Amino acid sequence: MLETSKDLLNIVIAFCVLWFTVFLCWFIYYIVMIIKRVSNTAENLAKMAENVTEFIDEAKDKLKSATSYIPLIFEGVKNLSNYLTDKQTEASKPKTKKKKK
């Protein structure tokens, strides 16, 4: 079986190469998995950034359309205020009774 110490050395070297290969495969597998997770995370962040951008754009559009109604609302409130003020002044004036003939 083992005739010289060189045979034993070759067996030990083969065993070390085997374990080094197993370790190297394990290391490469985990590096690839880490890269995959980083890629998925970056993709999710890009989707979230796109959703936030879409939300902001929609909010801007709605705000622009809402601001077009503000002058109409102010004008309506002004007219209503004038109308109520006129009604209040009419109500506070003493009513004169009509004379019967």
> What pLDDT score was predicted for residue 99?
64
Pairwise CA distance, residues 27 & 74, whole Å: 70
Pairwise CA distance, residues 86 & 93, whole Å: 11
In the numeric block, which tokens belong to residue 95? 């009513």
Full-model pTM: 0.53
Q: Structural domain boundaries of the chain?
A: 7-74
Q: In Å, how far are 13, 21, 55, 90 from 9, measured between CA atoms?
A: 6, 18, 68, 118
Read off the pLDDT of residues 5-19 as tens digits, 9 standing for 90 and up: 999 999 999 999 999
Pairwise CA distance, residues 23 & 20, whole Å: 5
> What pLDDT score was predicted for residue 97?
64
Q: In Å, how far are 19, 64, 73 from 68, measured between CA atoms?
A: 74, 7, 10
Cβ–Cβ under 8 Å, residues 8 and 2: yes
Read off the pLDDT of residues 5-61 as tens digits, 9 standing for 90 and up: 999 999 999 999 999 999 999 999 999 999 999 999 999 999 999 999 999 999 998
> What pLDDT score was predicted for residue 69?
79
